[in-house]
Amino acid sequence: MGIGAFGKELFKLRKLKNHFSVQEEAQALLDNDAVGKGEKFCQKLAQEASIPAEHPAFDRWQNSVHSAHSDAEVLDMYQSMVLTEQDKKAMASVSKLSGEAAILVALSPLAIADMLLIAWRNFRMIDNISEIYGVELGYWSRLKLFKLVLVNIAIAGASELAIESSADILSMNLAEKLSARAGQGLGVGLVTARLGLKTISLMRPIPFKQDQTPRLGSIRKSVVESLKNKLS
């Protein structure tokens, strides 16, 4: 049983590493004006994400692909017709779990409970996002992904932080108007949301274009509303 469990962990860890190579392959197809590889590549993505051939979005994409389309055009169509459906599910998961984390911390009377709640919600969110994009995580692969997410947050560009800083200040002003516990909950919810958005960027098989990367502002409002509704 121990050997079997160890083998499964290695398989899932290797699958996570292969996923990142898929992102590199997707970027290469987007950057080159080649023809002939894009359709098979997208079909493989759909298969790994357990998207059935009869799925309306996937069927619409298949019927839209023409032999004259370049690989980059095929991938762009796949993103707009199929992958956006997965993005919506992933964003909904981040929004839901970030709001729940904020509420749980706001209602929790103990600091140690806060830490446990944050860890629990964050790992659950990472699992949900990974499943949406067709990657099953084990114990070690989950930890590796969590570490990669934290590293990506730590090395976030100054421009990205500058864009979000003004909205963060507004959130801080709102937190001051709430109770101390509610303010802490709001802070934790926003941290959880940032973690979720970075996870989406890492798990998405086709990298986001620079102007399409989801921002914290798309989640912030739902976290605030969740707190208001629960504490009102």
What is the residue-level pLDDT of the chain in tens, covering all 232 positions?
666 655 666 656 677 777 778 889 999 999 987 888 999 999 999 998 889 989 999 999 999 998 889 999 999 999 999 999 999 999 999 998 888 888 877 777 665 556 776 777 788 888 899 889 988 776 666 777 777 777 666 655 444 444 454 444 445 455 455 566 677 777 788 888 888 898 898 889 999 987 788 888 778 888 888 777 776 6
Backbone angles phi, psi at 139, to 5 degrees: -65, -50
Query: Cβ neighbours of residue 200 under 8 Å, at least 6 residues apart?
Result: 87, 90, 91, 94, 129, 214
Identify how many contiguous H helices and E strands the chain contains and give both numbers. 10, 0
In sequence order, what DSSP letters do the residues of 71-107 get, joined into one string? HHHHHHHHIIIIIHHHHHHHHHHHHHHHHHHHHHHHH
Q: Determine what percent of the chain is predicted with pLDDT higher than 90.
A: 27
Query: Cβ neighbours of residue 157 under 8 Å, at least 6 residues apart?
Result: none
Distance in Å from the first CA to the final CA of the chain: 51
Predicted TM-score (pTM) of the model is 0.80
